[in-house]
């Protein structure tokens, strides 16, 4: 694989790192911002989820702006927004100011969440596309881990500790902004704007002499309509089924419950009577498992395909959550088995739905409609994320752990059945070959 392509993917994946960091950093600040801003429990819930509302708006913005201004420029805008959000939230003296800063950060997360994987998918050679797009998921996971660690290291820095925790994000934001000057615009976007010479230059560097011309020709063939696409184009009979697959997969990625663990693990452990001191150890175990199994997925995804990974992953997730549910029903939650099932669940997610859903969402749509199609799918992902995040503590309290995890287990099973029947395999083919294949169906 060309080192140039790897460099480009790593730069774009910095967007994923910021996405992971920004969504996770808040967990370490909660105990300090709650008294500082005088927040009730509900107020805290809204403050924490304010970012997610920004995300939803950011994805919509990226869908349109990514087509109009190009993937690279809009990613630069996201880097600036990450920076402003870091400095703004770290220096906030009023709740309103803090919320605005967090929402701006959310806008950036939303933009990065679609443009980073999409940009990589549009630059990657077909053979390695799965691995390279999964690099973005790896970066998300690393971003989450870095946030947990940096929060831990900064917690002892006095009454302004939460400000430092939030300010840390300014560094990778600056890095992303400047490193984007090193990478080219997406050749598929350039071709869609009739800038074929520039597109060819990029393809020569990413795919090599032999395939560049052929690839450009192939891209040109898929771009018969040259005016800018509209969201309503997604509802044509050929595209609508793809849109449904994108939305349903994205929603399943969230409603199978991953962020009940990622955002609430300490609460679950406290709920089963485990002490707070082990919180850091558990966080490291969860983050480490997530990281290791994302690497496993990166090795397997172009070899075995996206579909097989999701099928095996969903089976494992179903079983792990069923096990967890049984432990709650039978009051056996004090032992080590709770941790075993939780880590098993994380491992199966990380090796399957975690990266694969982003990969497939970036591959499903034709060149002309990728930005808009992916944005609708990913908006659905963020809405589902917000709903689960808000509902989970209530479910745990009102329905008990046994029923809550049984419900999530059944959802994993439903995901398995859906993927078996409806999701196409996308490995190994160029985006244009996929486009032609889907157009025939």
Please identify which residue in 65, 112, 140, 338 interacts with ligand BGC, judged by CB under 6 A.
140
Q: Is 317 in the site for ligand BGC (CB under 6 A)?
A: no
Q: Is 49 in the site for ligand BGC (CB under 6 A)?
A: no
Nearer to ligand BGC, 222 or 253 (CB): 253
Q: Is 354 in the site for ligand BGC (CB under 6 A)?
A: yes
Q: Is 380 in the site for ligand BGC (CB under 6 A)?
A: no
Please identify which residue in 121, 203, 384, 385 interacts with ligand BGC, judged by CB under 6 A.
385
Name the segment binding ligand BGC (CB under 6 A); options: 87-95, 134-142, 159-167, 310-318: 134-142
Q: What are phi and psi of 229, to 5 degrees?
A: -75, 160
Buried b (16+ CB within 10 A) or exposed e, 411-430: bbbebbebbeeebbebbebb
Nearer to ligand BGC, 121 or 216 (CB): 121
Q: What are phi and psi of 168, to 5 degrees?
A: -50, -35
Half-sphere exposure of 124 (CA within 13 A, CB side): 30
Q: Is 339 in the site for ligand BGC (CB under 6 A)?
A: no
Nearer to ligand BGC, 192 or 374 (CB): 374
Q: Is 262 in the site for ligand BGC (CB under 6 A)?
A: yes
Straight-line distance from the first to the last Cα atom of the chain, in angstroms, rounded to the nearest whole number = 32
Stated as kind and residue range, the H or E segment containing 397 is helix 370-422
Residue partners of 308: CB distance under 8 A and separation at least 6: none
Name the segment binding ligand BGC (CB under 6 A); options: 37-45, 137-145, 155-163, 168-176: 137-145
Helices (H), 124-236: 129-154, 161-167, 170-179, 187-192, 196-207, 209-222
Nearer to ligand BGC, 114 or 140 (CB): 140
Nearer to ligand BGC, 253 or 415 (CB): 253
Q: Is 123 in the site for ligand BGC (CB under 6 A)?
A: no
Please identify which residue in 207, 222, 259, 409 interacts with ligand BGC, judged by CB under 6 A.
259
Q: Is 258 in the site for ligand BGC (CB under 6 A)?
A: yes
Q: Which of residues 288-307 bind ligand BGC (CB under 6 A)?
A: 290
Smallest Cα–Cα separation from 121: which of 406, 441, 305, 366? 366
Buried b (16+ CB within 10 A) or exposed e, 189-202: bbbbbebbeebbeb
Nearer to ligand BGC, 145 or 339 (CB): 145
In the complex, least distance from residue 114 CB atom to ligand BGC, rounded to whole angstroms:
11
Site map 78..117 versus ligand BGC, x via CB under 6 A: ----------------------------------------
By three-state DSSP, how is residue 327 classified?
Answer: helix
In the complex, least distance from residue 194 CB atom to ligand BGC, rounded to whole angstroms:
34
57 touches 87 (CB < 8 A): no
Residue partners of 354: CB distance under 8 A and separation at least 6: 137, 141, 253, 258, 290, 293, 294, 297
Q: Is 268 in the site for ligand BGC (CB under 6 A)?
A: no
Smallest Cα–Cα separation from 201: which of 123, 129, 121? 123
Rg (CA), the chain: 21
In sequence order, what DSSP letters do the residues of 211-265 get, joined into one string? HHHHHHHHHHHH----SPP-GGGGGSTTTHHHHHHHHHHHHHHHHTTHHHHHHHH
In the complex, least distance from residue 423 CB atom to ligand BGC, rounded to whole angstroms:
16
Q: Is 261 in the site for ligand BGC (CB under 6 A)?
A: no
Q: Is 146 in the site for ligand BGC (CB under 6 A)?
A: no
In the complex, least distance from residue 228 CB atom to ligand BGC, rounded to whole angstroms:
28
Please identify which residue in 29, 47, 89, 137 interacts with ligand BGC, judged by CB under 6 A.
137
162 touches 33 (CB < 8 A): yes
In the complex, least distance from residue 141 CB atom to ligand BGC, rounded to whole angstroms:
5
Q: How many residues bind ligand BGC (CB under 6 A)?
A: 10
Binding site for ligand BGC (CB under 6 A): 137, 140-141, 253, 258-259, 262, 290, 354, 385
């Amino acid at each position: 694989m060309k080192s140039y392509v790897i460099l480009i993917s790593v730069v774009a994946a910095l967007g994923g790192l910021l996405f992971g960091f920004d969504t996770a950093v808040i967990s370490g600040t909660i105990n300090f911002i709650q008294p500082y801003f005088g927040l009730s429990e509900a107020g805290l819930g809204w403050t924490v989820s304010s970012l997610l509302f920004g995300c939803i708006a950011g994805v919509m913005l990226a869908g349109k702006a990514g087509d109009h201004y190009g993937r690279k420029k809009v990613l630069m805008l996201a880097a600036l927004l990450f920076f402003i959000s870091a400095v703004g939230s770290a220096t906030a003296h009023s709740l309103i100011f803090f919320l605005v800063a967090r929402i701006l950060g959310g806008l950036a997360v939303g933009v990065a969440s679609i443009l980073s994987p999409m940009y990589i998918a549009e630059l990657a050679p077909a053979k390695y596309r799965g691995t390279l797009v999964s690099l973005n998921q790896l970066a998300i996971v690393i971003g989450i881990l870095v946030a947990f660690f940096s929060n831990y290291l900064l917690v002892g820095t006095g009454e302004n500790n939460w400000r430092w925790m939030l300010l840390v994000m300014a560094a990778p934001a600056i890095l992303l902004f400047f490193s984007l000057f090193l990478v080219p615009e997406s050749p598929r976007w350039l071709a869609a704007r009739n800038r074929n010479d520039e597109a060819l230059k990029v393809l020569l560097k990413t795919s090599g002499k032999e395939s560049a011309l052929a690839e450009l020709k192939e891209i040109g063939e898929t771009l018969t309509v040259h005016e800018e696409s509209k969201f309503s184009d997604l509802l044509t009979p050929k595209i609508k089924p793809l849109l449904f697959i994108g939305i349903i997969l994205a929603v399943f990625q969230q409603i199978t419950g991953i962020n009940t663990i990622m955002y609430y693990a300490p609460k679950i452990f406290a709920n089963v009577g485990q002490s707070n001191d082990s919180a850091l150890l558990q966080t490291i175990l969860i983050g480490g498992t997530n990281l290791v199994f994302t690497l496993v997925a990166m090795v397997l995804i172009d070899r075995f395909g996206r579909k097989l990974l999701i099928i095996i992953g969903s089976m494992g997730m179903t079983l792990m959550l069923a096990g967890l549910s049984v432990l709650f029903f039978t009051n056996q939650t004090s032992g080590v088995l709770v941790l075993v099932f939780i880590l098993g669940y994380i491992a199966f997610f990380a090796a399957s739905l975690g990266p694969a859903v982003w990969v497939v969402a970036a591959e499903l749509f034709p060149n002309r409609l990728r930005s808009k199609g992916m944005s609708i799918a990913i908006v659905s992902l963020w809405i589902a994320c917000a709903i689960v995040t808000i509902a989970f503590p209530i479910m745990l309290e009102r329905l008990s752990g046994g029923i809550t995890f049984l419900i999530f287990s059944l959802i994993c099973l439903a995901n398995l059945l859906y993927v078996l029947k409806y999701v196409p395999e996308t490995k190994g083919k160029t985006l244009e070959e996929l486009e032609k294949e889907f157009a025939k169906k």
